Amino acid sequence: MAYTKIKIQGTIEVKTGLHIGGDDSFSAIGAIDSPVVRDPLTRDPVIPGSTLKGKMRALLAREMGTVPAGGRGGFENDCREIKRLFGSSQKGSDAAGAGMQMSRLQFSDCFMRNKDDLPQIFENKFENTIDRLTSIPNPRQIERVVRGAKFGFEIIYNVENPDEVAEDFKNIATAMNLLENDYLGGGGTRGNGRVCFTDVAAAVVTGDADFPVPELR
């Protein structure tokens, strides 16, 4: 079998205001305290591929019973199925699948698709924390991408073992479903970051495949 790649693509639709933090090293008086990350060329919001990858991995690890290692260990306790999808930088090797491993998944940054269809792209959410000892308020403004915004996503899956493709795709689908029932970005417990995946499709883009490409939705 030739070196084969499968492209998974579709749309991430924002259901509640999305906040993925950007650079807030300077904030003038009255300005947004926590802006969202933006494409430096267009200044439009963007979902970094690293954010999507990290969240999907963390949720799938929790689903499969992995407890993150402390300190710099990170995901070193992840099972073989997760490591082969998301990679591992852990040194050494053992029968349980530890050791450095390339990720079968390659995530791209997600750029906005429907900018011209929305009356606005950003909104300011006002939040306030109260010091329980002094009762002094600490108001702040959080920038969010408005609900209804759509981002195109693209993930490349490298076929390394045809016998494991079906299981890998099942785990990818599980991670996507978990994310839809969790949140992306910051402030999820306060209502931010609910998203859903739509128009998801997968197709061979490099090489060939003597097996059917599994469906994800």
Give 130-148 pLDDT, tens digit per residue: 777 877 766 678 899 999 9
Comparing 132 with 20, the larger pLDDT belongs to: 20
What is the predicted pLDDT for the residue at 95?
43
- Residues in the chain, how many? 217
Question: Using CA atoms, how far apart are residues 122 and 149, in angstroms rounded to an integer?
Answer: 10
For 76-86, letters b (16+ CB in 10 Å) and e give: bbbeebbbbbb
pLDDT above 50: residue 60: yes
Q: Residue 1: which pLDDT band, with cuts at 50, 70 and 90?
A: low
Q: N- to C-terminal Cα distance for the chain?
A: 27
The second-level CATH assignment, the architecture, of 4-206 is: 2-Layer Sandwich (3.30)
Find the range with the poorest average confidence among 10-14, 24-28, 110-114, 146-150: 24-28
Q: What is the percentage of the chain residues whose pLDDT exceeds 70?
A: 80
When the pLDDT of each residue in the chain is averaged and rounded to a whole number, the result is 86
Q: Tell me the CB-side half-sphere exposure of residue 187, using CA atoms within 13 A.
A: 21
pLDDT above 90: residue 23: no
What is the predicted pLDDT for the residue at 141?
84
Strands (DSSP E) found in 90-210? 105-107, 110-112, 122-130, 137-145, 150-159, 195-206
User: Can you give the residue ranges of every domain in the chain?
Assistant: 4-206
What's the pTM? Answer: 0.85
What is the predicted pLDDT for the residue at 78?
78
Q: Which DSSP letter does residue 101 get?
A: B
Q: Residue 29: which pLDDT band, with cuts at 50, 70 and 90?
A: very low
Find the range with the poorest average confidence among 45-54, 56-65, 151-160, 172-181: 56-65
- pLDDT digit string (tens) for 64-112? 887 666 655 556 677 889 999 999 876 654 444 456 789 999 999 999 9
